[in-house]
């Protein structure tokens, strides 16, 4: 293998659609981000939801048992929740067996393989259905080379986890393509891979190979082609900063968009760690990115403004733009024209 050229790897996922989205006992939408992501970006593939009694979130889809969903044509029961640690809870197991009995494939993006559940693989084999673990990286990934690749890249980064990096990347990709600009979404997490059908789950890669995996995720491309790389974690998260840093170094972003939830006062699940100011976050991300791309730029701020009314949103954007000199937007609610213009103005 030529050590100067990173090979291209892809985790290609072929899933039986449509999906029954399993919500388990999720008590906050951020724990069900996989299910919400599929509902929002692949709605035609989502037929129903399955919740356990303690569940406190809803996708606003019909509630069905696996048998009912199978009768309606569902092909897969997809685990739509991502608990801390990525393990299958004991309370979910009866639902997974019920899905197999109904003839559904079981799809998981968790760290714990489905085959670790006693009896599940045997039941799937007997019923002729599949157990599909999306969070399985390719083998033989290289270490990062730092080699400058052709093409252009934008990476979404965040002040915290679960605040819009995937949605921002998907929205930017769609907006660029609508404008006739060559662009591809590059998925680095399980939900993005399920939506896109390919990608590499960066948080499941051995740490020495994260930067190399990110290089493989976004290989050489045409000079004016943009890869929009889905961010992972946050440099400010006490648990997940490591994968974020490796992804930054390997993706070598020409541009970054900082994602932020204006109502977060501390890192989600870590109350002793306050969320950084936007100014500090920009400085830290640029410092990290410029190790492998000295020309890296921050081109915009993506806000999760779902809890704000139009007047509050406009005021937040105006104040932030005046302070930082960067265009602000909400990927689901406002125009992306200003941030795209900044991207293309290199």
If you average pLDDT over residues 314-338, what whole number do you get?
Answer: 97
Confidence of residue 13 (pLDDT cuts 50, 70, 90): confident
User: Which residues fall within 8 angstroms of residue 176, CB to CB, at 6 or more apart?
Assistant: 182, 183, 226, 228, 340
Neighbours of 128 (CB within 10 A): 9
Determine whether 159 is exposed, middle or buried from the number of CB atoms within 10 Å of its CB (0-12, 13-18, 19+): buried
CATH number at residue 269: 3.40.50.300
Q: Could you tell me if 102 and 74 lie in one domain?
A: yes
Q: Is 336 within a domain?
A: yes
pLDDT for residue 267 is more than 90: yes
Q: Is 142 within a domain?
A: no
Closest CA to 169 of 213, 206, 218, 241: 218
pLDDT for residue 34 is more than 80: yes
pLDDT for residue 20 is more than 70: yes
- Tens of pLDDT, residue by residue over 124-149, are 999 999 999 998 888 889 999 999 99
Q: Could you tell me if 107 and 236 lie in one domain?
A: no
Q: Is 162 within a domain?
A: yes
pLDDT for residue 73 is more than 80: yes
pLDDT for residue 85 is more than 80: no
Q: Could you tell me the CA-to-CA distances from 86 to 81, 82, 116 in Å, in that order?
A: 9, 6, 13
Confidence of residue 196 (pLDDT cuts 50, 70, 90): confident
Q: Which domain holds residue 296?
A: 152-344
Q: Please give the tally of structural domains in the chain.
A: 2
Instruction: Pick the more confident residue, 12 or 63.
Output: 63
Q: Is 139 within a domain?
A: no
Q: Could you tell me if 129 and 228 lie in one domain?
A: no
pLDDT for residue 69 is more than 60: yes
CATH number at residue 116: 3.40.50.720
- Tens of pLDDT, residue by residue over 159-178, are 999 899 999 999 999 999 99
pTM: 0.87
If you average pLDDT over residues 244-264, what whole number do you get?
Answer: 97
pLDDT for residue 67 is more than 80: yes
If you average pLDDT over residues 230-240, what whole number do you get?
Answer: 96
If you average pLDDT over residues 84-90, what whole number do you get?
Answer: 80
């Amino acid at each position: 293998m030529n050590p100067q050229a990173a090979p291209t790897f892809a985790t290609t996922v072929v899933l039986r659609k449509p999906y029954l989205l399993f919500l388990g006992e999720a008590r906050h939408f951020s724990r069900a981000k996989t299910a919400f992501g599929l509902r929002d970006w692949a709605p035609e593939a989502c037929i129903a939801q399955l919740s356990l009694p303690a569940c406190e979130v809803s996708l606003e889809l019909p509630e069905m048992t696996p048998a009912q969903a199978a009768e309606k044509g569902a092909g897969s029961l997809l685990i739509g929740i991502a608990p801390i640690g990525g393990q299958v809870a004991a309370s979910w197991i009866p639902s997974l067996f019920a899905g197999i009995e109904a003839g559904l494939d079981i799809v998981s993006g968790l760290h714990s393989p489905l085959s670790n559940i006693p009896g599940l693989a045997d039941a799937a084999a007997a019923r002729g259905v599949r157990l599909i673990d999306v969070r399985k990286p390719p083998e033989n990934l290289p270490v990062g080379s730092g080699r400058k690749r052709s093409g252009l890249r934008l990476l979404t980064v965040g002040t915290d986890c679960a605040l819009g990096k995937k949605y921002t990347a998907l929205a930017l990709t769609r907006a660029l393509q609508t404008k006739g600009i060559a662009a591809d979404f590059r998925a680095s997490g399980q939900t993005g891979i399920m939506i896109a059908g390919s990608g590499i789950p960066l948080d499941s890669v051995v740490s020495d190979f994260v930067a190399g995996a990110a290089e493989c995720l976004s290989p050489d491309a045409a000079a004016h082609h943009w890869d929009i790389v889905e961010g992972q974690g946050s440099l400010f998260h006490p648990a997940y900063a490591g994968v974020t840093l490796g992804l930054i170094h390997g993706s070598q972003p020409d541009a970054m968009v900082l994602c932020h939830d204006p109502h977060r006062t501390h890192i989600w699940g870590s109350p002793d760690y306050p969320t950084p100011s936007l100014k500090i976050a920009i400085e830290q991300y640029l410092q990290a990115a410029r190790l492998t791309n000295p020309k890296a730029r921050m081109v915009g701020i993506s806000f999760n403004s779902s809890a704000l009314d139009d007047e509050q949103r406009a005021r937040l954007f105006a104040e932030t733009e005046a302070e930082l000199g960067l265009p602000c937007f909400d990927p689901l609610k406002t125009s992306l024209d200003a941030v795209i213009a900044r991207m293309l103005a290199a």
